[in-house]
Amino acid sequence: MTRILVLYFTRGGHTAKIANAIAQQLTLRGAKVDLVDINSAAATRINWPDYQLVALGACVLYGTYDKSVFQFIEQNAPALSALPNSFFCVNVVARNPEKRIPENNKYLQKFIALSPWTPADLKIIAGKVDYPSWPWYDRLMIQLIMKITKGPTDPKAVIDYTDWEDVKVYADHLLTLAEVAELA
């Protein structure tokens, strides 16, 4: 049985929801999946050789990734690189289809430039605007960013831009990567 590790960093819960959807699709396809928030990964004690593939996802806030994402990668770069791997980036700028192309997404390019780990596979997933659930300072800053990028600024807006069918396709892609690696 193919065993896959899905790691993620979430701030407001949406990246966790995406990671869970990936895990569910992989499980439906017959894989065994361990779903781990990177903030609890140290307590989990990952046994990397147990896996045929690792996928790591992180969200973008204010144009960057939480420092814990880079700390986790610095501590685990050799293990991440030793397995077939994929990185999925969750950001609201990807609400525009052209920003779902890795070369066109400055947040993914920033990750690649700053990360000590070079993922073998990349995916960009559109995130969610949820002004009512954000603290006032996040809401104001993101409204400003949205105004500049011609996005929604209504403080009552809750808009999920995630293409959930594409998330399933990505999960299927991960399973294919793991199966190809097993055959090699």
The 10s digit of each residue's pLDDT in 34-69 is 999 998 887 778 999 999 999 999 999 878 899 999
Supply the CATH classification number for the domain 1-126+163-181: 3.40.50.360
Cα–Cα distance, 128 to 14 (Å, whole number): 7
Task: Give the bridge partners for 123, in sequence order.
Answer: 88
Q: Where are the alpha helices (DSSP H) in the chain?
A: 14-28, 41-44, 67-82, 106-114, 136-148, 164-183
Computed over every residue of the chain, the mean pLDDT equals 93
**pLDDT, position 174:** 97
Listed by start position, the domains of the chain span 1-126+163-181, 128-160
Is residue 184 very low, low, confident or very high in pLDDT (cuts 50, 70, 90)?
low
pLDDT per residue as tens digits for the range 139-175: 898 899 889 888 899 999 999 999 999 999 999 999 9
Cα–Cα distance, 123 to 108 (Å, whole number): 9
Q: pTM higher than 0.85, yes or no?
A: yes
